[in-house]
Chain A
Amino acid sequence: DGGITQSPKYLFRKEGQNVTLSCEQNLNHDAMYWYRQDPGQGLRLIYYSQIVNDFQKGDIAEGYSVSREKKESFPLTVTSAQKNPTAFYLCASSVGTEGEQYFGPGTRLTVT
């Protein structure tokens, strides 16, 4: 089955540690996205990538980094510079940037 996967489902880290969230898709989509979702805040875009080896900052990119070395993969690193990293992180992909997005199951990150 085609789809988009995120791992792990739950992640716990100590403050000051970098952590990388995985996102893989086998939908052959060119565009991929990372969102952060906090209660009452809706979806906020962190980074997006229209094509391999290219990505752009979204609205809240500070303290995060990404790479897009393969079409299928778009990992997100939450660095120690992110002041409030505890959140639910969602990865999505779409055929192009104008089409509907397909989301992964999400990773809930807790930093203490």
Chain B
Amino acid sequence: EPEVTQTPSHQVTQMGQEVILRCVPISNHLYFYWYRQILGQKVEFLVSFYNNEISEKSEIFDDQFSVERPDGSNFTLKIRSTKLEDSAMYFCASSVRDSPSNYGYTFGSGTRLTVV
């Protein structure tokens, strides 16, 4: 069964450093998403991406965040200058289309980011 692959599974970084979280969506999917979950809190939507541009973003997704699809297969989330409160599990997801029923979302296993 096709999977969304995320690397690394765990990353530790110092406050103020830049991090890039990587995702390889399912090959025929067209819509890509990043979510995060701070420990013990809700899974929160960050951003959706289609046709090489951001289609929707949440209030969390401020100027410190950016997304890119650099080579047609990878989908990356960059945090420019990490803060302690960026520590969370980051999930990538992809779907064939942005359908009303949403059930086509496939999630990766997540990257646990720890900012020290």
Same complex origin of A and B = no
Chain A positions within 8 Å of B, measured between CB atoms, are: none
